[in-house]
Structure 1
Amino acid sequence: MRQALIVWGGWEGHEPELGARAVKAMLEEEGFAVRVETSTAAFADPAIADLSLIVPIYTMSKLSKAEESNLVSAIAGGVGLGGYHGGMGDAFRESTDYQFMCGGQWVAHPGNIIDYQVDIVRRDDPIMSGIDDFPYRSEQYYMHVDPSNEVLATTTFTGAHAPWIDGVVMPVVWKRRHGKGRVFYSSLGHVAKEFEVPQMRTILRRGLAWAAR
């Protein structure tokens, strides 16, 4: 049985505990044995190198050097990494090796909670199979992203809240490699209620399963 680790905490505005419960349930439905921790100290445990998947849900906060080094080494060695929104894409702002591994970092969400569209750009990818472009209401993440990411979905900014980004096409969902490990990220999921959106839930579930060793 594949083993997964969820580590949640950090900024409470993203409802990390509720998100962890939702992710745990979907991974168990996929046949994973799931362990849940609430301290970044879990990342320093050498045993994480034997896991199939690690899911950080830990907006902002800090990693110690030992935690960062061990986590990055585990992924480079073949453990999968997957996550969503700020729990992975706005975590550990001072840890540049972590950001390098993830393939992106949040920098803004102009307008805060707004209506926008998610455009599927890789309909041939199994993670996006059967999913059409869809409207979404949440924070529209503006991110600094790695050009080596394999982008699966994007969104286009209108400029209504920041005129200088009018027409900017921004990745929403991507996958990548870090060493031997697979990395998956979706910027959807500001609060736990968004797990009720079928497209958001399906994309995340499939992405985590893809990332897992």
Structure 2
Amino acid sequence: MQRALIVHGGWEGHDPAECAAIYRRWLHEAGFTVRVETGTEVFADPAIHELSLIVPIISHATIGKEEALNLCRAVEGGVGLAGHHGGMTDAFRDCIEYQFMTGGQFVAHPGNIIDYTVDILATDDPIMAGLKSFAYRSEQYYMHVDPSNEVLATTTFSGDHGAPWIEGVVMPVVWKRRHGLGRVFHSTLGHSVKEFEIPEMATIMQRGLLWAAREDV
């Protein structure tokens, strides 16, 4: 049986506990045994190397050096990593080892909550199968991203909202990548738990979790 670990905490504005409950339900429905923790200490546990999937939901916050290194080694050894929005890529800002693994780091969201479009690129990828580009209302994340990411969806910045110099910038929204033997999946969507009610967002995340855990999607 596949085993997953969900770790939530950090800034409460991203609804970490509520998002963790949704992930837990999805993974249970997919046949996983799921453990939920609320502190980064679990990342230092050697047992995480035996997991199928780790889901971090810990915006901002900090992580101990040994915790971070053990987490990175687990993924390098084949454990999947998947998550959304700031819970994964605005976590542990001072830990470059973690950022190297996730493939991206949040740096801005001009205009805060705005309307924008998510453009689906990889329509032949199982995670994106059957999906079309869609309108979205949330924070439009401006990221620093790894060029080795396999980008599945993007968004284009208008240059409004006080940042005219980024007009026309095409930014990854959803990507997957490898870190050693591990599969890493990320979507920048999901500022609030209400966004999990949006069909396209939920479908992308559900499929991304399974892909990272080496399950059929």
TM-score band w.r.t. shorter chain: over 0.9
One-letter code aligned to 1:212? A
Aligned sequence identity (%): 69
Distance in 1 between residues matched to 2:90 and 2:25, nearest whole Å? 23
Partner residue in 2 for 1:17? 17
One-letter code aligned to 1:33? T
Partner residue in 2 for 1:167? 168
- Structure 1 unaligned runs (5+)? none
1:86 corresponds to 2:86: yes
Structure 1 stretches of 4+ moved >3 Å? none
Deviations 1:93-114 (A, max 9, x none): 0110000000000000000000
Provide the TM-score with structure 1 as the length reference: 0.99
Distance in 2 between residues matched to 1:123 and 1:206, nearest whole Å? 14
Partner residue in 2 for 1:100? 100
Report deviation, 1:5: 0.1
Distance in 1 between residues matched to 2:27 and 2:116, nearest whole Å? 28
Aligned length: 213
Secondary structure of the equivalent of 1:127? Answer: coil
One-letter code aligned to 1:154? T
Partner residue in 2 for 1:45? 45
Provide the TM-score with structure 2 as the length reference: 0.97
Report deviation, 1:30: 1.3
Partner residue in 2 for 1:178? 179
Secondary structure of the equivalent of 1:130? Answer: coil
Matches within 5 A, 1:183-202: 183-202=184-203
Distance in 2 between residues matched to 1:58 and 1:122, nearest whole Å? 28
Secondary structure of the equivalent of 2:107? Answer: strand
One-letter code aligned to 1:164? W
Distance in 1 between residues matched to 2:169 and 2:114, nearest whole Å? 16
Report deviation, 1:31: 1.2
